[in-house]
Amino acid sequence: MKALVLTSYKKPLTVGERPEPVVGPHDVLIDVHAAGLNQLDEKLRAGDFTQLVPLALPATLGHDVAGVVAEVGSEVRSFAPGDPVYGRVRDGRIGTFAERVAADESDLAHVPAALTMVEAASLPLVALTAWQALVVRTEVRPGQKVLIHAGAGGVGSIAIQLAKHLGARVATTASAANAEFVASLGADVVIDYRSEDFEQQLTGYDVVLDSVGGENLMKSLRVLRPGGRAVGLAGPPDPAFARQLGLNPVLRAGIAAISRSVRHAARTAGVDYSFLWMSANGDQLREISGLVESGAIRPIVGRVVSFDAIPEALAGLGKTGVRGKVVAAIPSDAARP
């Protein structure tokens, strides 16, 4: 089958032929109609996570998928051939930048009726990230104050909507050009990260969702109230994450060392810091589907590209000012309203 192949870390993806996916008893074979692009895909290509999630090269990247079920394994009960499905394929089985991909049925959900395949493919990784940060990890409640960085991005644009649905007062950072856009998603306070310092304007926040890292994360700790919680998406990874992955003692010690300063700063401020590496979860995705169907969350597709344009589009993620997600689609689907 046709796929985009990574033959060596740091090299561009190239179009090639890959073996057909093997369909296990609990697997669903999907004819891919659309695939969301994520910075995680670009970081994997660049070799940033070789110690944490090594790839067996040559490999096909791609985590988000929307498509039609072509075949199901002998034990699958939730899906049937012809069903439109979407999901974030779990680590170790990624490969949605291809004509077909096999995924465990527990990673998938039916596509909400109101969505196109392109819109559905934009959601899984970013919506699950927002859900796992705000619902599972920090249990955001009505009346709490939540700061979401990079509100116009893939995760941020969904996290703002989810936080508002949960009843929070939401602040976000964005460019001046995106101020009205993030406000339309539900942001109550918008801070221009280019000309304003959020640390000087915000205080007493219950939760921060940080996708920037570095000094931005350290400043975020200081806007939290005592007992507040910061969730980092850009790192540094923490010891709990190392235990989650079952890493060897040497890697666990290394991760503890690189996160020591931020964990110390959090303890000194009387707040909590944790690193989130989101995971595939079909049950949570079904919850998100319900929010989409109720109108509480809408997908944000900023750009649609062709299959062959994926390598260039991946390299441009975070650099081109696209709102929400970039999605690759076959032409017939990309043209749908």
Complete domains list, the chain, with CATH? 2-122+300-334 (3.90.180.10), 125-275 (3.40.50.720)
pLDDT of residue 251: 87
Taking the model in full, what pTM does it have? 0.95
Residue 223 has pLDDT above 90, yes or no: yes
Residue 335 has pLDDT above 80, yes or no: no
Residue 331 has pLDDT above 70, yes or no: no
Average confidence (pLDDT) over 294-318: 95
CB of 157 closer than 8 Å to CB of 324: yes
Q: Which residue has the tokens 């062709």?
A: 306
Average confidence (pLDDT) over 227-247: 91
CA distance 57 to 9: 9
User: For the stretch 148-158, what's the b/e string if a residue is b when 16 or more beta carbons lie within 10 angstroms of its beta carbon?
Assistant: bbbbbbbbbbb
Helix (H, G, I), strand (E, B) or coil at 65: strand
In this prediction, residue 52 has a pLDDT band, given cuts at 50, 70 and 90, of confident
pLDDT of residue 313: 96
In this prediction, residue 149 has a pLDDT band, given cuts at 50, 70 and 90, of very high
Residue 242 has pLDDT above 60, yes or no: yes
CB of 99 closer than 8 Å to CB of 3: yes
Residue 175 has pLDDT above 70, yes or no: yes
| Helical packing angle, 154-165 and 124-131, nearest 10° | 50
Lowest mean pLDDT among 40-44, 87-91, 251-255: 251-255
The pLDDT tens digits for 88-130 are 999 999 999 999 999 999 999 999 999 999 999 999 999 999 9
pLDDT of residue 235: 84
Task: Provide the 10 A C-beta neighbour count for residue 212.
Answer: 17
Mean pLDDT of the chain, nearest integer: 95
Q: Which residue has the tokens 């999901």?
A: 87
Average confidence (pLDDT) over 57-73: 97
Give the list of residues 6+ apart from residue 201 with CB closer than 8 angstroms, or none. Answer: 189, 191
CA distance 102 to 32: 10
